[in-house]
Structure 1
Amino acid sequence: MKSRPDQYGSVAVTMHWLSAIAILVLLGSGFGAAMTIDPAIKIMLLQLHVPLAIIVLALTLARIAWWLLADRKPAPIAGTPAWQEALARFTHRLLYLVLVIMLASGIGLLAMSGAGSILLSGAGTLPDFTQFPPRMAHGLGAFALIALLAAHVGAALYHHLVRRDAIFRRMWYGRQ
């Protein structure tokens, strides 16, 4: 369950991949809802988006608690320059920060707009979310999240395809 010096444990791996899938669905449903003009489709997308965001909030808080209280991350991959390790740590922390900002602004947006009751019932007219202050943070956060995810995936692909240092095996189940 816990991480070893050379590999992430099953708890960390599960939380990572569940979060990754959920975040991709959140980005798709969020941008889809923002771009659609059909109110029924917007409600349907947000009815997926909001509960999934709550799951990501729970996973994110669980991951932070897991790393602070129960587990230690594996040692850096041998031969990785110190600046890359520092950049990786910074990027991971920034990912957590942006996720928390996105989740907080989403909750604020629902609370201020009153859209929560509409999404629960599936009936009514959604407000114009752009009229509420958390909308800007939520929108900018989505673009920041995309940039951070691109950097994260790009670095993983660099390690896998260029350095060939088994980075993907570290973040999967089983022994290397």
Structure 2
Amino acid sequence: MGLKSTSERYGAMIVTMHWLTALLMIILIATGFRAANTVDPVVKAAILGVHVPIATAVLGLMVLRIGWWWGVDRKPHPVAGSPRWQEHIARAIHLLFYVVTFGMIASGIGMIALSGAAPMIFGGEGALLPDFWKYPPRVPHGFGARLLLALVALHAGAALYHQFIRRDHLLRRMWFSR
């Protein structure tokens, strides 16, 4: 498998970025909801101490991915036999992943900046973790998390539909070939 994609399947570089981003997104969603539902500020700070660096890694991967698509690689052709409406929905969901993720990162940075929470999150002694609900970016961050969860479910559901109902081996395109 080469680094670049072919007309039929994704290359090793994008496959690696896809699955690494997917894993990190699942961790982000889990730690984000866990932090939101944690009352103890020390535990919440510890959870956010994992959440924030992973969000930074996702930002880096997404910027690298966009650069890879724009400057180095081309996406494979759509799956043969897919209706046009499915192709449009797939493109829209992928675009929404980028928009929502960048919005989540921006609102997360906004919350940390406005609240001054960085010292507590990153190990500052004696700093009190603020009530994030007092800061305007908290609302879009919470909405974005739920939207991101819905997008992940739609994306995974569509992949499973293609794999097991349509039996067009779509998942093979986004996995490492021999």
**Taking structure 2 as the reference length, what is the TM-score of the superposition?**
0.96
Structure 2 distance, partners of 1:155, 1:146, is 14
Return the match for 1:62 from 64, 70, 75.
64
Partner of 2:109: 107
**Structure ranking higher in helix proportion:** 1
Aligned to 2:177: 174
What are structure 2's unaligned runs of at least 5 residues? Answer: none
State the identity %.
51
**1:145 matches 2:148:** yes
Structure 1 stretches of at least 4 aligned residues deviating more than 6 Å after TM superposition: none
* Structure 1: gaps of 5 or more residues: none
Matches within 5 A, 1:38-57: 38-57=40-59
Report which stretch shifted further, 119-128 or 95-104: 119-128
Q: TM-score, normalised by structure 1?
A: 0.97
Tell me how large the CA RMSD over aligned residues is. 0.9
Whether contact under 8 Å (1:43, 1:122) holds in the other structure is no
What's the CA shift for 1:118? Answer: 1.4
User: Could you tell me which amino acid in structure 2 is paired with residue 29 of structure 1?
Assistant: T
Letter in 2 for 1:57: L
**Residue-by-residue CA offset, 1:63-83 (whole Å, 9 max, x unaligned):** 111111111110011100011
Instruction: Identify the residue that residue 18 of structure 2 maps to in structure 1.
Output: 16
CA drift at 1:94: 0.6
